[in-house]
Amino acid sequence: MRPVAEQVITLTDKACVELLDEEYADLARHVVGKLARKRPSPLLSGRAATWAGGIVWALGQVNFAFDRESKPHVTHDELAGTFGLSKPTLSNKAKQVRDTLKMSWATPEFLRADVIDSSSMVWFIEIDGFILDARSLPVEIQAQAFAKGIIPYIPALGRDGTAAVLERHGPPPDA
């Protein structure tokens, strides 16, 4: 799998650097790794360029890269041109990527930091049948939700504060 994954990563890195940014390249590497670990890996069927284009297209969709107001922004035509593939081909492969990995606007592992911070969907949690925004809850509940993997970080501590706590104390015990 390694040579196939490396070939796809080379293409996603190049496209992300040219059209988007390093954060997209990091996310694309994460997606390639997840697809490579599937058994059987879907990366074994099809061309590397099609997979690379579909991965970047899928990430662009869930991170709003095709929205003109988004920074960074890319058009469907630019992305298709970079990979030398048609928009329908990339759109179809992106759907396969999203479906395979259950990728959406509400799955933080596939989202840019700025999208996570501004998206309400990421922060909604259910407590006793009520849907609440975790950012407005007491820090103890935020910590429990983080420990269970429900939210990407503890909002009261911020991204950097959560990382610092993890660095000092390790991951929290399951609550």
What pLDDT is stored for residue 120 in this prediction? 85
Nearest-angstrom CA–CA distance, 132 and 120: 10
> What is the arithmetic mean of pLDDT over 112-119?
92
- Is 105's pLDDT higher than 70? yes
What pLDDT is stored for residue 165 in this prediction? 81
Architecture of the domain delimited by 2-103: Orthogonal Bundle (1.10)
* Strand, helix or coil for residue 69: coil
Domain ranges of the chain: 2-103, 119-169
How would DSSP label each residue in 107-153? Answer: -GGGS-HHHHHH-HHHHEEEETTEEEEGGGS-HHHHHHHHHTTSSSS
- Is 175's pLDDT higher than 60? no
Give residues with Cβ within 8 angstroms of 66, minimum separation 6.
60, 73, 74, 75, 76
pTM of the model: 0.86
